[in-house]
Structure 1
């Protein structure tokens, strides 16, 4: 099997696009800007979804579903929100088609114009807060801790599979609380849930921090985020959590009777991650041979490939392979036994290497004689012989999968640390951005004007104000004004 992948060092963008397609993750669709997530890609998303859903429920959240369509008037109720999304909205204006009189095909029936246009949801704050008005009367109804798994549409002009498409899949949490502090605690909690998921399951180290006012979610008072570093030195926003204050409650008149007998607006949050995480997973770990998947998210953790020439050899090898597969599955390990006779072992080796399967077991007649199997690791491309009598196979494979998970994280962490550079002058700033990339740790004077000017001059944005930064003063990298603490700049996806 010829992988035909470009090298990351030569054309990172082309490498990414080709890998997504050749590894059977996704492809472009007949609908402009939209993608088809193929079964193998969707199975990775399902594993992400399952783990996140479990984590949401452990923190007290429940799932619901809200309409895809939002009345246009709803978006007008929160001024900064509509301003933030207006240029990305798809609008439904009619509800019926008819055949053209000249027989040329189907046309929109001009008589079927909607009284009020409907927006295909770019996000659901407005439709959900209009619903919460009916759900909340008293402090006894709070908190509302609701999540939905859904698709959204944001009319992107320049698209890239998983990273930026007109339609994408995501989850969006929307919560309502009786106090500001409770809502702020929720915002922080969910940002930490995302960070834990990224690091524990995606093996992706992230920087936790706060967005600047310029980068804040439209309609929020505060946005917390996790930022990841890709292998080409660009940052990727991997998740956001927003403190909405009382903005949407006031816009939709969501009030509650307090314990003290008064009447107050509720406090809100929203938070979400999307199939963009698939792009992060691919770009953070994969290599010139294909995908490298952390075992906790790999649809197939182990593939077993038989090596044989004669039919009687196949029967004996197959018996041992089935025995191993059974033991592994009992231990909760996902296994595929690839006994196809239409492809040679070399083709299969290359195929599963491309698809990022963490471990590959090969068994042949000689292995049966010696009581061994060959185990190949995808993360570092090493092979070893394992004596089956030395240790239970399920125990050995579990240990190796744990080791691979940690190794992938460690490699990504070391790379991320290497790609954080402190600078103290404008010349240093430009030099690092141009020649090294990564996170540039620099002082910023705190003004939106300086932030915008730096973006215009370099295309770098403030990815976050990191929580872990040292509280010390320095001179703004552009204006020289005294500034409180460093922020992380980077070029980003």
Structure 2
């Protein structure tokens, strides 16, 4: 076990795929499709915004003709490579003699791809959203989406509140929402509140004797820690809508932070200052040479995270060498 938990451990667990194709175009299409599959999962399920781009020749997978990447930004201003998809050309096919019979009955080398994500996505989820109270989990990935905590004085009152919670839980489960009723009698409600904040449960409900009388319930959402008192009537429908709102809010918060941490710089002094004082992604011109890329890394520990797929042509000069450059790339210090 190494020290970067969930990013890289001694047993490195992957989701990985490999494909072989008859044409170059089919393989490129597959590699492109898979990086967008990873982008969709990161953004729509993990609520982590990512930049899709090409790795520089020096950073791409060894033996690949092109490496596509999704790059996320953590709350400490460091980048995290969160998934990659490689167009391998015919390099590995020729090295390992992987051939197929074409329509003319002749042997040809396949065009290959490989793509993968790993347990470092768990690290991305934790570092992108969590706060000083613990985890903040997007509802789509939270194992428990709603936790219910009874507040009671007697065993009879506990039984009454749990029975009402069971009715609400049944309505929520019918909508596909996972629920836990915590009726433990050996810990106080305040301990339970802190425990489920730490675990990142998206919604917490609390109900006491007065709530039973008034037909109300206290609801706290984990993403904002906002508290409100609601009617028990129609509660399941409200929570169903709230799940979507929480998912979107977590993503929006991360996206706003990421966008605020992309800084355009045009000089070497500005590059170093922003990197040391602000961090995040630096959008800067690069002359396209490995020598400059290596020199920048040695001087600052920043690497080219990617050349964004939507990067527009823009004439300029490299921040380090002063040589001509045709587009900006994203630099950052990273995990």
Whole-angstrom CA distance in 1 between matches of 2:276 and 2:84: 27
* Per-residue Cα deviation, 1:78-106 (whole angstroms, up to 9, x for no partner): xxxxxxxxxxxxxxxxxxxxxxxxxxxxx
Residue of structure 2 in register with 1:378 after alignment? 222
What is the count of residue pairs matched by the alignment?
Answer: 335
Q: How many angstroms does 1:260 deviate by?
A: 3.0
**What stretches of structure 1 move > 4 A for 4+ residues in a row?**
none
Counterpart among 259, 264, 267 of residue 417 in structure 1: 259
Q: Is the 8 A contact 2:8 2:119 kept in 1?
A: no
Q: How many angstroms does 1:313 deviate by?
A: 0.9
Q: Quick check: 1:173 aligned with 2:3?
A: no
Higher RCO (CA-CA < 8 Å; seq separation 6+): 2
Residue of structure 2 in register with 1:361 after alignment? 205
Counterpart among 427, 436, 439 of residue 281 in structure 2: 439
Q: Quick check: 1:221 aligned with 2:65?
A: yes
* Per-residue Cα deviation, 1:459-483 (whole angstroms, up to 9, x for no partner): 0000000112221110000001111
Residue of structure 1 in register with 2:312 after alignment? 470
Q: How many angstroms does 1:415 deviate by?
A: 0.2
Q: How many angstroms does 1:163 deviate by?
A: 1.2
Q: Quick check: 1:492 aligned with 2:309?
A: no
Q: How many angstroms does 1:261 deviate by?
A: 3.2
Superposed, which structure 2 residues align to 1:82-481 within 5 Å? Answer: 159-389=3-233, 391=234, 393-481=235-323
Q: How many angstroms does 1:254 deviate by?
A: 1.2
Whole-angstrom CA distance in 1 between matches of 2:311 and 2:108: 36
Q: Secondary structure at the match of 1:434?
A: helix
Q: Secondary structure at the match of 2:124?
A: helix
Q: Secondary structure at the match of 1:168?
A: coil
Q: Is the 8 A contact 2:205 2:218 kept in 1?
A: yes
In structure 1, list runs of 5 or more residues that go unmatched.
1-31, 34-158
Give the aligned CA root-mean-square deviation in angstroms: 0.8
Q: Secondary structure at the match of 1:457?
A: helix
Q: How many angstroms does 1:431 deviate by?
A: 0.3
Q: How many angstroms does 1:262 deviate by?
A: 2.7
Whole-angstrom CA distance in 2 between matches of 1:426 and 1:280: 30
TM-score (normalised: structure 1):
0.67
Q: Secondary structure at the match of 2:12?
A: strand
Q: How many angstroms does 1:160 deviate by?
A: 1.1
Q: How many angstroms does 1:394 deviate by?
A: 2.0
Q: How many angstroms does 1:256 deviate by?
A: 1.2
